[in-house]
Amino acid sequence: MPYITLAEYKTRAALPIPAIDEFLARPGRADTFDVWEGDLRATIDDSLRRRYAVPFGATPPTAEPDPALVPRAVKAWLAALLDEMFTRARRDPGSEVEAGDSDLTSAAARVREELRRASDPNVEPRPELPLKATQPGQSGVSLGGPHLVSFVTPFVYWDYVKGLQ
């Protein structure tokens, strides 16, 4: 399952919806959104894998992500990066960069900077993203209790052994 569906992207996109629909209606572009979303999802997951529990929205982590459980920040990042990809792909080769394009590319650059900061271990973690269980302050123990029994004297041990019979 994707982190963001095409319908969700259209509501978050900075591009007009008819422009997105027109681009996806071009010959050979029907699967473009799914491919780009998968590539960007992998990019986000790979950059955050050392610190956060990825894939986002998957319980347990080996399951497929549920788009309803994906943090809003991740969806916003994906939308900004998809805006940049759609803008570049819609542009005719050799054409001038439009004034509105710089705003979309600066938003994508801001997302890349946020991803870099989120993956930096020297910066506070983002509170909306789930940390891995191996991070400081998190416990890797999910079930069970102590696996060691300590006996003060041999007599206490013997009473314990007799109690097991």
Cα torsion angle, 142, 144, 148, 150, sign: positive
DSSP 131: B
The values of phi and psi at residue 14, to 5°, are -85, -15
**What is the domain partition of the chain in residue ranges?**
6-164
State pTM to two decimals.
0.72
DSSP notation for 59-100: SSTTSPPPGGGS-HHHHHHHHHHHHHHHHHHHSPTTPPPPHH
In angstroms, the CA 130 to CA 57 distance is 9
Ordered per-residue pLDDT tens for the chain, 165 residues: 788 999 999 999 988 899 899 999 989 888 999 999 999 999 999 999 888 888 887 766 566 777 778 889 999 999 999 998 888 887 665 555 565 566 677 888 899 999 999 888 888 888 888 888 765 555 444 555 555 667 778 888 888 778 765
The tokens for 92 are 């005719």
Length of the chain (residues): 165
Interval 38-80: pLDDT, tens? 999 999 999 998 888 888 877 665 667 777 788 899 999 999 9
